[in-house]
Structures are given as structure tokens and as C-alpha cells.
Amino acid sequence: MNARHANPDPCILVIFGASGDLTHRKLIPALYELSRGNGGRARLPERLAILGVSRTPMSDDQFRDKLRGSAKAHAAGFDEASWSAFARCIHYHAGDAASPESYPALADRLARLGAEHRLAMPTGGANLLFYLSVSPNLYVPIIGSLGESGLIAEGKRWCSIDPSATPWQRIIVEKPFGTDLGSAQSLNMALGRVFEEDAIYRIDHYLGKELVQNILVMRFANSIFEPIWNRSSIDHVQVTAAETLGVGSRAANFYDTAGAMRDMVQSHLLEVLALVAIEPPSVFDADASHREKIKLFNSARSIEPASAHESAVFGRYARGKPDEPAYVEEAGVDPARRTETYCAMRVEFDNWRWAGVPFYLRSGKRLAKKLTEVVVQFRRPPVNLFREVDGVGEMGANRLIINIAPTEGLELHVLGKVPGAGLRIDAANLNLDYIDRFGGEKVEAYGPLILDAMRGDRSLYKHRDQIEGTWRICQPLLESATLRERIEDYATGSWGPRGAEALLARDGRAWHNPA
Ligand SMILES: NC(=O)c1ccc[n+]([C@@H]2O[C@H](COP(=O)([O-])OP(=O)(O)OC[C@H]3O[C@@H](n4cnc5c(N)ncnc54)[C@H](OP(=O)(O)O)[C@@H]3O)[C@@H](O)[C@H]2O)c1
């Protein structure tokens, strides 16, 4: 059976970094939501244990108490009865996950939990899903310690007589996945020494968002889009992720060494772009869609570091209202690093479908509006039959907007005749709001993604070559001294630096900046 349709396997989910922010704000609330049935047909396995691991000493009950507060604050809906039922599967183990000496005790605890929750498989212990929710500098030590622990036998599973009776071990790796191409390659090698590629789940919570997944459904479950989804009909594509908030306290321990390019463009926006631009996979499974994404990224026209400033713009927010410091005034920021809080770039793909069609990506903080969207801008009709009609020449060509957040839907901009005597033409929108149309509650993206890992479906996770492909596209920009020297300040509440407008204006185009 295709992994996508399988039930999630019974397993122990081992979260390294159990006392941290991600576990409290996202992972546990998302799993609790699923346990309450918020995910529709997506349900947790009937037999499941969650083991939180971090160094802070805590009992199971103390850990559950803390998580209860987090679930109450962050889950969509909370009630004591469903929490108590869910919390029974949660346990805690104090230990230094980066040290191999901690693993005999961890292995012992896992064996006991397997027995307690009836999770042991016929030919061994329980299925184990490890989640690296720790600082990235701990990824390699933890992966190495897992390798030495004897807990990982996944490589022998595929060739065992009955793989379904043999326990699996999988690992979910959080972002950031490397800080450049070289470090991503090293991390891939460290993972590859311990886990088979199909046991590695490089997570991108963006790919868990409903509307991101819906891009493929829109393109390939309908027959009207594909014939026009190419260079003949499409002028260009824009992918925007804009935030209104500043960096705040994240500057010191993360953002100032990362910046918008690494934080958003490499890790999320290129992945969203891939869904818009890939060829139809031959089947709807992880391997086929990974292959198409890798092919797409490999066809990106290379950018030379020496001319990268012609394909990209970096900016950082200036001082705003009295309580809004400029980026360089935020606590923990080293102004000499010239970290960008805004990045815009132009990418082209040298393949038959997209030759000559630019893809523009941008992401920034303290911008005019919080939104994530894809804009597919179509070409004008070859002949303007209505050129005599006032204003038609200035009206835009058709445009499809895929709203990913905060609204989830599609908008198709078309031109229509205004009712009444005479010929007056105006722009109109055909709107589809997914929540209005299909109902259902919004579900935190992490929950369904973790379920996918439990059922062995990597479609929404990233393949090794996919990650390296996106780093290869971004690397010249990271290496460009000119781009960083020319970083521009932009006003808070604006749509970013002037250079970003100029990047498109040079091509005779403009950003779609919703009011
Ligand atoms: N927070 C988010 O919204 C978010 C979003 C996307 C990606 N991420 C990624 O997720 C990861 C975790 O982020 P976070 O914000 O949750 O970080 P965090 O709040 O700093 O939590 C880190 C956790 O790691 C534990 N830890 C540190 N050293 C350890 C060791 N040697 N052995 C075992 N546990 C150890 C800490 O607990 P002790 O001190 O008790 O050991 C703490 O529980 C990072 O890679 C981050 O980039 C986070």
C-alpha cells in the first residue's frame, strides 16, 4: 500500500529537546490536537508513547504538568478529559543526548516503555521515531551517539524476511538544515552514516500547510491549468512571505547569524516554488515528487557570486514607532555582520517549460502586511481586441493568487464587462476560500507531518539532494560581498527596500503588494 494511505504505525516518539520552545509551543499541542480528532481523518496511532528527553531533571508528572499549560495555551481547543487521556502516553527522561554514555539508560527506558505500552514488535523492540528538537550544533553529536548506541538497525530492515514484523527507526531533523551548502552536505553525511535515506525526515513545517499541499492538487487534479502552466502563457511567478513583526528576542541566539535568506528563502520559499514549477510526478509518492523537485533545482540557472547583486537584494528594517527599534538596535545584533531581515531574489530555470520565465522570491520582517502567497502572472492576450475601450490597456493581465496564510484560498483576477449600456471593462476577482468552502478547523502543520513520519510517508519531507539543491541556488548570494555591502535600510510598514522594486522594474514588472 502507498505509505500515504497507510495508518500510522504504533511507535515511541522520542523528542530530544523536550523542555524547549518548539516542543511546548508546537509539537505537543499539535499531537494533542490530533488526539482530540481535530485533524479529521488524521489520527494518532492507537498505541503510542512519547518520551521527552533533555537535561533538566523532571518526573513524568512534572513534565506532563508543564505540557498541559502549553497545550492549553497553544492547541486549538482544550478540555481536561481529553488532555488526561492523551497525557497518559507522555513520559520524560533526563539525560545529555549528545553524550554516548547516556544511551544505555535511554535504551533501557525505551525497552520498559515498549513493554508498558505494548509496543514491542515480533522481532525486536518498538518502532522508534526520533525528533531532533535541539539546537543545530547538537544534531551531529546526537546522530553519532544514536549510531553508537545500537538502537539503529534500520539498514537491515528492508532485506529482512518480514519487514513489517521488524521495528523501524526513523529520525526527524528540524531546520535549519546547515548554514550553507558545505555544512548541509556534512550533516547529510553524518545522517547517512547512521540512517538509510528513507528513514530520514528533514522537516519543513511550511510543506505541512494545507494550501501549500493544495498547489499540487490544484495543478494536477484539474485539467484546465496544466496546458497553460508554462512559458507560453505565464509571464512570471512571485512567491512572498511577509511578516509585520520584527526579530525581537530571536536576534541574539539565532537570527543574527542566519538572516532572511537562510531562515525563509532557502528553507521554505524555494520549496513552495518547487510545487508551482515541477513537472507532474509519474505517481503521487515521495520518491517521484522528490525526483521532480531535484530535477527542477538542478535546472536553476547558476548565479555567479561576483554578479549576485544583480539577481538579489538584501535589506534590514530601520527604526519604526518609538517602541520599534531598528534591526541594528535589537538586543544581540552585531551590526558589522550586516544581517538581512529582507531578501528578494530572481531565479530562472533552464528547462523547456520555464525558459525565460523569472521566479521572484521575497521575504522580510516588519513589512506592510502579514501574508504568504504565490502570484502566477499570466501574459496578456496576443491581440487587444478592446484597445479602444478606456483604461483597458492599463488593466493587468490575468493573475492567479494562491493565498497560503493567513487566508487559505485562490483568487483569479479576470476582466469583465461592467453591466449596463455601452462597453465598459473592469477587473474582477473569482475567489475560493478553502475554509468557507470545505469547512474544518485549521490544524497545526506539525501534527500531520509527524503522522506522515509514523506511516513512512516522506512526500512532504525533503530529500538529501533537494536540500543541497536549494543551498546550491542560495550559496552565491551568501558568498557575495557586494550584496551584503549594499544592504539597504527600509521603512517599517513598507514593502521593503527600493532595490527590490528596482529588481523587478528592470524587467518591466512590479511586485504584487496588496493594500
Ligand atoms: N521554536 C521554534 O518555533 C522553532 C521553529 C522552527 C525550527 N526550530 C528548531 O527546533 C530546534 C529547537 O528549537 P527550540 O526553539 O525549541 O530551542 P530551545 O527552546 O532552546 O530548546 C532546546 C532544548 O534542547 C535541550 N537540550 C540542550 N542541550 C541538550 C543536550 N545535550 N541533551 C538533551 N537536551 C538538550 C534543552 O533542554 P535542557 O537545557 O533541559 O537540556 C531544550 O529543551 C532548533 O533546531 C530550532 O532551530 C524551532
pLDDT in tens, 432-488: 998 888 877 777 889 999 999 999 999 999 999 999 999 999 999 999 999 999 999
Using a 6 Å cutoff on CB, does residue 405 contact ligand 1?
Answer: no
Please give the grid coordinates belonging to residue 430. Answer: 473569482
The residue among 492, 495, 490, 498 whose CA lies nearest residue 513 is 495
Q: Look at residue 400 and tell me whether its pLDDT is greater than 90.
A: yes
The residue ranking higher by pLDDT, 390 or 399, is: 399
Best substitution site from 14, 15, 22, 66 to test ligand 1's pocket, by max atoms within 8 Å of Cβ? Answer: 22
Query: What is the C-alpha separation between 35 and 444, in angstroms, rounded?
Result: 13
Alpha carbon distances (Å) from 216 to 27, 77, 203, 204: 26, 30, 19, 17
Q: Which of 117, 205, 236, 268 is catalytic?
A: 268
- Ligand 1 closest atom vs CA 132: 11
Looking at per-residue pLDDT, the higher value among 377 and 321 belongs to: 377
Give strand pairing partners of 411.
Answer: 401, 431
Q: From the CB of 56, is ligand 1 less than 6 Å away?
A: yes
- Ligand 1 contact via 43 beta carbon (within 6 Å): no
According to the model, what pLDDT value does residue 40 have?
Answer: 65
**Is 99 close to ligand 1, i.e. is its CB under 6 Å away?**
no
Looking at residue 146, its pLDDT comes to 97
Contact 66 CB / ligand 1 (< 6 Å): no
Strand arrangement of the beta sheet that strand 169-173 belongs to:
90-94, 48-54, 11-16, 128-132, 169-173, 200-202
Ligand 1 mutation target, pool 54, 132, 139, most atoms within 8 A of CB:
54
* Residue reference for cell 481535530: 38
Picking from 187, 174, 142, 248, the residue whose alpha carbon sits closest to that of residue 23 is 174
| pLDDT over 90 percentage in the chain | 78
Q: How many CB atoms are closer than 10 A to CB 284?
A: 15
Query: Bridge-partner residues for 488, per DSSP?
Result: 315
Average pLDDT along the chain = 92
Cα(24) to ligand 1 centroid in Å equals: 10
pLDDT band at 192 (very low <50, low <70, confident <90, very high): very high
Query: Given this model, what pLDDT does residue 123 score?
Result: 75
Please state the pTM of the whole predicted model. 0.93
Ligand 1 site-directed mutation target among 16, 21, 70, most atoms within 8 Å of CB: 21
Per-residue confidence (pLDDT) for residue 321, from 0 to 100? 82
CA of 132 to the centre of ligand 1 (A): 8
Average pLDDT over residues 331-340: 93
Question: Which of 255-259's residues contact partners 24+ apart within 8 Å by CB, and which partners?
Answer: 255/339, 255/341, 256/332, 256/333, 256/334, 256/337, 256/339, 257/179, 257/337, 257/339, 258/176, 258/179, 258/339, 259/314, 259/339, 259/340, 259/341, 259/343
Domains in the chain and their CATH numbers?
Answer: 3-174 (3.40.50.720), 207-505 (3.30.360.10)
Q: Which pLDDT band, with edges at 50, 70 and 90, does 323 fall under?
A: confident
Kindly tell me if the per-residue pLDDT of 422 is higher than 90. no
Burial 111-120 (b: 16+ CB within 10 A, else e): eebbeebebb
| Beta-sheet pairing, 200-202 with 169-173 | parallel
- Examine the pLDDT at 159 and tell me if it is beyond 70: no
CA atoms of 56 and 96, how far apart (whole Å): 9
pLDDT of 1 strictly over 60: no
Give the pLDDT confidence score for residue 309 in this predicted structure.
94
Q: Note the residue count of the chain.
A: 515
| Nearest residue to 482 (alpha-carbon basis) of 276, 306, 223, 316 | 306
pLDDT tens-place string over residues 35-79: 998 766 668 999 999 999 999 999 999 999 999 999 999 998 899
Q: Mean per-residue pLDDT for 89-93? A: 98
pLDDT at residue 166, rounded to an integer:
85
268 classed as catalytic: yes
The closest-lying atom of ligand 1 relative to the alpha carbon of residue 141 is 31
Cα–Cα dist 289/167, whole Å: 26
Residue 221: predicted pLDDT? 94
Binding site membership of 35 for ligand 1 (Cβ less than 6 Å):
no
Question: H or E element: which one contains 128?
Answer: strand 128-132
Q: Whose CA is nearest to atom 4 of ligand 1?
A: 22
What is the Å distance from ligand 1's center to 23 Cα?
8
Q: Is residue 21 lining ligand 1, measured as CB closer than 6 Å?
A: yes
CB-ligand 1 contact for 257 (6 Å cutoff): no
Structure confidence at residue 294 as a pLDDT band (50, 70, 90) = very high
Q: In whole angstroms, what is the distance from residue 470 CA to residue 213 CA?
A: 19
Residue with cell 535504551: 107
22 lines ligand 1 (CB under 6 A): yes
Contact 74, 67 (CB under 8 A): no
356 CA from centroid of ligand 1 (Å):
43
Ligand 1 centroid–CA 45 distance in Å is 26
Question: For position 487, what pLDDT does the model report?
Answer: 97
Comparing 158 with 321, which gets the higher pLDDT? 321
Nearest CA to ligand 1 atom 18: 20
Residue 290's pLDDT band, with cuts at 50, 70 and 90, is very high
* Digit-coded pLDDT (tens) for 229-277: 999 999 999 999 999 999 987 777 789 999 999 999 999 999 999 999 9
In the predicted structure, residue 223 carries a pLDDT above the cut 90: yes
Site to probe by mutation for ligand 1, drawn from 16, 27, 28, 55 as the one with most ligand atoms within 8 Å of Cβ, is 55
Per-residue pLDDT, 254: 85
Q: For ligand 1, is residue 121 a contact (CB within 6 Å)?
A: no
Residue 155 pLDDT class (50, 70, 90 cuts): low
Q: Which of the residue ranges 24-28, 155-159, 242-246, 361-365 would you say has the lowest mean pLDDT? A: 155-159
What pLDDT shows up at residue 156? 61
Looking at residue 42, its pLDDT comes to 67
CA of residue 27 to ligand 1 center, whole Å = 12
Q: Between residues 320 and 174, which one has the greater pLDDT?
A: 174
Q: Is the CB of 100 under 6 A from ligand 1?
A: no
The number of beta carbons lying within 10 Å of the beta carbon of residue 506 is 10
Give the pLDDT score at 201.
Answer: 98
Confidence class for position 5, pLDDT limits 50, 70, 90: low
30 lines ligand 1 (CB under 6 A): no
